[in-house]
């Protein structure tokens, strides 16, 4: 499925572009505040100061506005994710658990930073194929960043399927704790440093076992 081209919708004139940005910002603010898409274009108009007529001139419906806002926010999240992972400084001879800790820490940081806006989008994704597809693309960006960090471990080959499995487990635990697509549970009474440490230890143990198994004659 082709993802929506949000840039092609942006008006060229400065005043129209300003109204366009205010409308998107208001939609995102309402999604984050209410935790769902339970608002109207009148609510968007009231918060943004952009008239209903101007909103309809740019967006055919609330659904289209939310999809454009979602694409914009996913672009932002992808950019931040890339920056956070690329700025990592791995020691010259790191242990696998140290590398796993760095990957887990950055994954948690991204998801915690954007949890309030990801919650309503994930709820909507269950019924909106456009948002589901764009969300999956952003998920893939985070997964690749996680994988790229782990593959900096210099002492052995890590199977791609094992790394993918590790990311999915980490993502699932963190997402459940943050209430992304579910209730906030699944991590007991642990605080975030403890969760990060336990996840990194689990990832390192799992990957090391797989590495040793594949190295056997």
Q: Where are the alpha helices (DSSP H) in the chain?
A: 14-34, 41-48, 52-58, 62-86, 96-113, 115-125, 129-150, 160-178, 192-215
Q: What is the tens place of the pLDDT at every residue in 96-108?
A: 999 999 999 999 9
> Burial level of 209, CB count in 10 A (0-12/13-18/19+)?
exposed
Q: What is the tens place of the pLDDT at every residue in 33-84?
A: 999 999 999 999 999 999 999 999 999 999 999 999 999 999 999 999 999 9
């Amino acid at each position: 499925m082709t993802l929506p081209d949000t840039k092609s919708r942006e008006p060229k004139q400065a005043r129209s572009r300003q109204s366009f940005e205010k409308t998107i910002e208001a939609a995102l603010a309402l999604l984050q505040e209410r935790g769902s898409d339970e608002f109207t274009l009148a609510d968007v108009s009231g918060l943004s100061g952009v008239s209903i007529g101007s909103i309809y001139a740019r967006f055919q419906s609330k659904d289209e506005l939310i999809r454009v806002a979602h694409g914009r926010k996913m672009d932002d999240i992808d950019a931040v994710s890339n920056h956070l992972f690329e700025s990592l400084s791995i020691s010259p001879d790191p242990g696998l658990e140290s590398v796993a800790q760095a990957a887990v820490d950055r994954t948690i940081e991204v998801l915690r930073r954007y949890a309030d806006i990801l919650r309503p989008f994930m709820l909507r994704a269950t019924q909106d194929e456009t948002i589901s597809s764009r969300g999956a693309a952003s998920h893939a960006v985070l997964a690749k960043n996680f994988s790229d960090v782990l593959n900096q471990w210099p002492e052995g080959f890590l199977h791609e399927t094992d790394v993918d499995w590790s990311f999915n487990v980490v993502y699932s635990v963190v997402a459940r704790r943050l209430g992304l697509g579910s209730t906030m549970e699944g991590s007991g009474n642990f605080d975030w440093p403890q969760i990060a440490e336990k996840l990194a230890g689990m990832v390192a143990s799992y990957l090391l076992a797989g590495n040793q198994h594949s190295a056997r004659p």
